[in-house]
Structure 1
Amino acid sequence: MAALRRTLHVASLAAGTHRALAGSLADSCLADRCLWDKLHAQPRQGSVRTFDWFFGYEEVQGLLLPLLQEARSACPPRVLDVGCGTSNLCTGLYTKCPHPVDVLGVDFSPVALAHMNSLLEGGQGQTPLSPGHLASRLHFMQADAQNLEPVAPSGSFQLVLDKGTWDAVARGGLPGAYKLLSECLRVLSPQGTLIQFSDEDPDVRLPCLEQGSRGWAVTVQELGPFRGITYFAYMVRGCN
């Protein structure tokens, strides 16, 4: 969470976020939807249309594309981004993946989703997003990541992505974070992969994941450094 707090203080570099708001968020409960609605409602400067905590799609495409290649028995493989916000993780997969992919972004902020749907459809005079493959799909749904029952039945996705969502939910208490993890694993195919992207040290995160993911294999891969900060990809996969 240290990097997330630092990112909040410099958010204006990426999305025109007011420093005063960023500072107040850094000291607040990041599991509060109203705070995210307020953040996502801030005007954007210039051509910046998405906002990413930690890093964007380009920094992790080398990790994601091989996993999607492995999952091509499902055609197209389904990807869920929990707590997608206004990140370019979903849009990057949709517009740059050379293989068919079906991407769903979920977030509890209607403000974030309204922006992403406008971006997808070409609202406010923008050009609609074009898929990297004609068979690819991208859509967004409002949902609480701790309750994905309205989103999909069990085993629906070959890849589930969590970029900073555990970190934010855990600020409201670990029980909520474990509920998030449980829901991510419920909707994940037994042969699929859950990836949590975070700056949290493995000595802290791995015991939590191992406790909450019994029956799954948990590994970690170092990422970066990006802008001087080292991140980690915590991967949870079926043991078989």
Structure 2
Amino acid sequence: MAVLRRLLRVPPLQAWASASEGSLATSCLADRCLWDRVHAQQRPSNVPTFDWFFGYEEVQGFLLPLLQESRFACLPRVLDVGCGTSGLCVGLYTQSPHPVDVLGVDFSPVAVAHMNSLLEGGQGQMPLSPGHPKSHLCFRQANALNLVRVAPSGSFQLLLDKGTWDAVARGGPPGAHQMLLECLRVLSPQGTLVQFSDEDPDVRLPYLEQTCQGRTVTVQQLGPFGGITYFAYLVKDIH
């Protein structure tokens, strides 16, 4: 799958991640122990988060309109599934001018502990401050294939998946299919699921259209970022 090539194309300045290349090249990306080892590696003090693919800054112009378009009656809930130590949740929480209730989940307890520490002001950092006084952020450990403990059905207006489905798919089609069904379960009727990936639309779209019957599936090209073109696959209610 194309995601493996992208994960291994780490910019030289991000030396923290380069130490993981050997493990990523020879391991199953759906293996929690692999990601525990990756997230446990010592990182530079000035790099509290790390993003595969791209960071919040590159896609904030894409994300913020999604929070506005429906003018949700309540505080919009955002789920970042497989958040790792990405800055996507952090960016939404600290920079969004609109109020958001953000939950980041990951199956790696190492990643979740790191992000909660960052949120609370550990690791020599200042506590994170919301971009809007009503915004909220938390991180919890959960498996993307079973989110029952953290996400009741229909409870999120925006669900973000940045490469997580790609990684789960490395473990086989059954797990990938279960993850997509679980994402659809927790999505509110008027909500939007966004899968960020480098996988070609000719491959991804037929699968999403078949699995997400009753919903519209569209794709938007992003980037290039660092010379790489990505895609945002959007799944919404058909009405």
Q: What's the TM-score once normalised by structure 2's chain length?
A: 0.96
Query: In the comparison of the two structures, how many residue pairs are matched?
Result: 239
The residue aligned with 1:140 is: 139
Q: How does 1:1-240 map to 2 (within 5 A)?
A: 1-10=1-10, 13-14=13-14, 16-19=16-19, 21-240=20-239
- Pair 23,11 (structure 1): closer, same or farther in 2 beyond 3 Å: farther
SS at match of 2:67: helix
Q: Which amino acid aligns with 1:41?
A: A
Task: Report the CA distance between 1:131 and its aligned residue.
Answer: 0.2
The runs of 5 or more residues in structure 2 that have no matched partner are none
**Mapped contact 2:161–2:194 kept (Cα < 8 A):** yes
8 Å CA contact 1:160–1:188 kept in 2: the answer is yes
Note if contact 2:3-2:163 (Cα within 8 Å) is conserved in structure 1: no
Q: What is the alpha-carbon distance in structure 1 between the residues aligned to residue 13 and residue 179 of structure 2?
A: 30
Over residues 115-165 of structure 1, what are the superposed CA-to-partner deviations in whole Å (9 max), with x where a residue is unaligned?
000110001321000000000000011000010111121110000000000
Q: How far is 1:10 from its partner?
A: 2.2
User: How far apart are the structure 2 equivalents of 1:35 and 1:167?
Assistant: 15
| Change in CA separation of 1:226 and 1:9 when aligned onto 2, cut-off 3 Å | closer
Q: Decide whether the 8 Å contact of 2:23 with 2:34 is kept in 1.
A: no
Give the Cα–Cα distance (whole angstroms) in 2 for the partners of residues 15 and 209 of structure 1.
35
- Please, which runs of 5 or more residues in structure 1 have no aligned partner? none
59 and 141 in structure 1: CA distance in 2 versus 1, 3 angstrom threshold: same
Partner Cα distance (1:158, 1:12) in 2: 37
Which deviations, in whole Å up to 9, do the C-alpha atoms of 1:76-123 show, x marking residues without a partner? 100000000000000000000001100000000000001000110001
Q: Which residue identity lines up with residue 229 of structure 1 in the other structure?
A: I
Q: How many angstroms does 1:17 deviate by? A: 2.7
Matched AA of 2:109: P
* 143 and 124 in structure 1: CA distance in 2 versus 1, 3 angstrom threshold: same
Displacement after TM superposition at 1:6 (Å)? 3.7
Q: TM-score, normalised by structure 1?
A: 0.95
The DSSP-based 3-state class of the residue aligned with 1:17 is helix
RMSD of aligned C-alpha atoms? 1.4
Deviation at 1:18, TM superposition (A): 4.4
Asked if structure 2 preserves the Cα contact closer than 8 Å seen for 1:90 and 1:138, the reply is yes
CA contact (8 A) 2:117 2:123 kept: yes
Identity of aligned residues (%): 75
Task: Give the Cα separation in 2 of the matches to 1:6 and 1:164.
Answer: 10
